[in-house]
Amino acid sequence: MLIVDDSSFFRKRLAEIIDADPRLEVVATANNGEEALKQLQIHKPDVVTMDLEMPVMDGITAVRKIKSLRATPVLMLSTWTTEGAKTTLDALEAGATDFLPKRFEDLSSDRSEAQRKLCQRVYQLANGFHASLQTPLQQDIVTQTATAPARNNAPINKPDLVLIGTSTGGPVALQKVLTVLPASFPCPILLVQHMPASFTPSFAERLDAQCQIHVKQAVNGESLQAGTAYLAPGGQQMLLKGRPQRLYLSIEDGHDAQTYKPCVDLTFNSVAPICGDKTLAIILTGMGSDGKEGCQSIKNKGGEIWAQDQATSTIYGMPMAIAKAGLADKILDLTSIGRQLGELL
């Protein structure tokens, strides 16, 4: 791992945490983006942690240059403020892979648990990113060759509701999918992106400015409208309530025991009994398997499931879980997902 930060105190503190984990090793540190590029070429790290504001060369510029030099996951360390969220989203658009709070206490009030979560994220990010660059998994090859191609270009059943769940790599993936949809898109869209509460308002505003459809952070009790995408608020759970002709959202506080807030499975499971047979559920890039249980519920009700392919996924975890479980009606690259969604008209 390469640590990039202009604070010598922070570099030392982070290095101590990382080196205490037997799975991880800090091979070098850098105090600005320019020095980071030199260390990248020398040490070829598996993952880079990057500060945003630094002298000589800032983090976003460094991310762009790293992306052009070598396929390396970059974990941005940012402040969890409104301004920090906007800058972090800029970094993700520039090519950063994921982000965490620079104040580790925001991960957990328990110091040892915060350090464990930090190390686990670094480990998962390095392994997941590099695995996504390798030859497609054998099980996924079987799924794609034996099942998907015959249906990947099949006529699309027009749904009454579209669900999209994603995690690592999701902000950029959602942008690529949603920006190709016309303003007259014929049904509502529910978006579940693993993201903290301080980030989702800025992310919804950014998507809304980029898209022809309307994108907003979901509000408790609001009715669903065609041509609008509703982003689940960070730190809470978004559930569907009502009946097919009168759908509305319930925004609820998440429980401490829940790993993800918002959680893809919880949202999808709430949809299944109401209008699962008229739902298209899509799983995009992300770590883990959140969404598999919810997609199974949708599938059991007769709904349709799409999954992003390995080649275009930043982290092939969540969509791989769908493919391995045999739930995917279509396995599509990111461009095709947006294009085929647009064809629902």
pTM for the whole thing? 0.91
**Mean pLDDT confidence for 195-209:** 95
Cβ 217 vs Cβ 204: under 8 Å: yes
User: What band does 205 get if pLDDT is binned at 50, 70 and 90?
Assistant: very high
Please count the CA atoms within 13 angstroms of the CA of 147 that sit on its side-chain side: 18
Where does residue 214 rank: exposed (0-12), middle (13-18), buried (19+ CB within 10 A)? middle
Each residue's pLDDT tens digit, 109-157: 888 999 999 999 999 998 887 776 665 654 444 444 334 544 666 656 7
Q: Are 54 and 33 in contact (CB under 8 A)?
A: yes
Give the orientation angle of helix 82-94 with respect to helix 170-178, to 10 degrees: 80
Between CA 131 and CA 134 the distance in angstroms is 5
DSSP code of residue 233:
P
Let me know the angle formed at the C-alpha of 163 by 158 and 165, rounded to the nearest 5 degrees.
145
Q: What is the pLDDT of residue 134?
A: 66
Model pLDDT, residue 136: 62
CA distance linking residue 263 with residue 252, whole number of Å: 11
Per-residue pLDDT at 35 exceeds 50 = yes
Top-confidence residue, 135 or 159: 159
pLDDT confidence tier of residue 344, bands split at 50, 70 and 90: confident
| Integer CA distances (angstroms), 10 to 26, 29, 37, 102, in order | 14, 11, 19, 9
User: In this predicted structure, which of 68-72, 81-85, 211-215 has the lowest mean pLDDT?
Assistant: 81-85
pLDDT at 152: 66
Say if CB 52 and CB 91 are below 8 A apart. yes
Give every CB contact of residue 180 below 8 A, 6+ residues apart in sequence. 338, 339, 341, 342
Write down the mean pLDDT value for the chain: 91
Given the candidates 3.90.600.10, 3.30.470.10, 3.40.50.12280, 3.40.50.2300, the CATH classification of the domain at 2-132 is 3.40.50.2300
Q: Is 300 left (phi over 0), alpha (psi -120 to 50) or beta?
A: alpha
Instruction: Read off the pLDDT of residues 79-117 as tens digits, 9 standing for 90 and up.
Output: 877 788 999 999 999 999 999 998 888 888 888 999 999
What's the CA gap between 71 and 173, in Å, rounded? 18
The identity of residue 337, as a single letter, is I
Active site residues: 167, 194, 290
Q: Are strands 246-253 and 236-243 parallel, antiparallel or unpaired?
A: antiparallel
Amino acid in the structure at residue 147? T
Range(s) for CATH 3.40.50.2300 in the chain?
2-132
What homologous superfamily does CATH list for 138-342?
Methylesterase CheB, C-terminal domain (3.40.50.180)
Where in the chain are all domains bearing CATH 3.40.50.180?
Answer: 138-342
Give the pLDDT score at 151: 60
Listed as own residue / partner, the contacts of 255-261 with beta carbons closer than 8 Å and 24 or more positions apart are 259/290, 260/167, 260/194, 260/290, 261/234, 261/235, 261/236, 261/237
Q: What percent of the chain has pLDDT over 70?
A: 93
